[in-house]
Amino acid sequence: MKAKVIFLPLLLLSVFIFSCDKKEITENKPSQEQSVYRYYIGEKEGFNVWIVDGALIRQNIFNEFIYGGNDQRYPFVPLNEIWIDNSISAEEFETTLAHEICERNLMMKYGLTYFDAHDSSLMLELGMRRDFRKKSLEHETSLPKVAPIDFDSTQEIEDLPDLIKLKNIYRIPLREINGIKIWVVDGFAVRRDIYADFGFSGNDKANYFIPENEIWIDGAISCEETEYSIALELKEREEMSKGKIYDDAYLEALKVVENMRIKNRNMILMQKVVVKTNPVVRDTGIKL
């Protein structure tokens, strides 16, 4: 009986210690739902670029967080990270990323105030936007007319002619992958003027109004979904190029996206908890 009396407190103590350790691990490694991190873009100019949960940051850390942030302006952003708010659209991602990198470097390397660095970065954005518009107009001008139909010859807007000229559709030349040009487009205009069921993204094999060797990304979707949409369209058009019907190709593409989401979720679980700092902002750059 005495052995049981001695053993019980030791058992309770062990359970308590384990519980404390488990709590500490949980606090340092948040669940995906608790984390501000949403999607890891990768490394850009020496920075780890993350799309983050802007609403959660505004709720728990800083209620004026918009568009994005960097470790110079916001002390709560980990060193050498660039954050992009998932509230912004795919169309705004490239300019926002360039803005944050420029702003961060101006504050740290040259000691500029936030306001001066911010204004300079806005001018960088302006130049990019004008360049995007120029390239989009040049591209549209060079294209032949297209048929406003999909892979099974469905024309959803019945009063359109058999062939149409693309006009005011293109927004941003995003990148090229294995000869496939990826464009951010005006999804609203596509649905109004070309094909009413265009959603999130499309490719030239499934949608005949998309020029050859192109993928379109709806500029209105959350920037958090852009890379998933690109991966889906690349896989879908690859499978259709092999002769698979659309439905089967789409299912194969969904598997690729699901694997991406699992991999990204695991990366999120590896990140430490982001805590509110005091102060939450800096008005002048510092050497880190």
What pLDDT is stored for residue 228 in this prediction? 99
Note whether 229 and 39 are within 8 A (CB): no
Judgement on whether residues 92 and 172 belong to the same structural domain of the protein: no
Is 0.95 surpassed by the pTM of this model?
A: no
Average pLDDT over residues 22-35: 56
**Which positions ≥6 away from 70 have C-beta within 8 Å?**
47, 77, 81, 82, 83, 100, 101, 103, 104, 107
Structure tokens that stand for 265 in this block: 């979720």
CATH number where 125 lies: 3.30.2010
Number of domains composing the chain: 2
Mind listing the pLDDT tens digit for each residue in 234-284? 999 999 999 999 999 999 999 999 999 999 999 999 999 999 999 999 999
Judgement on whether residues 195 and 243 belong to the same structural domain of the protein: yes
Boundary of a domain, candidates 100, 130, 160: 130
Structure tokens that stand for 72 in this block: 């110079």
- For 131, other C-beta atoms within 10 Å of its C-beta total 12
Q: Which of 103, 28, 94, 117 is nearest to 71 (CA)?
A: 103
Mind listing the pLDDT tens digit for each residue in 86-119? 999 999 999 999 999 999 999 999 999 999 999 9
Judgement on whether residues 263 and 151 belong to the same structural domain of the protein: yes
Q: pLDDT averaged over the chain?
A: 92
> Can you give the residue range of the structural domain that contains 252?
146-267
DSSP 8-state symbol, 218: E
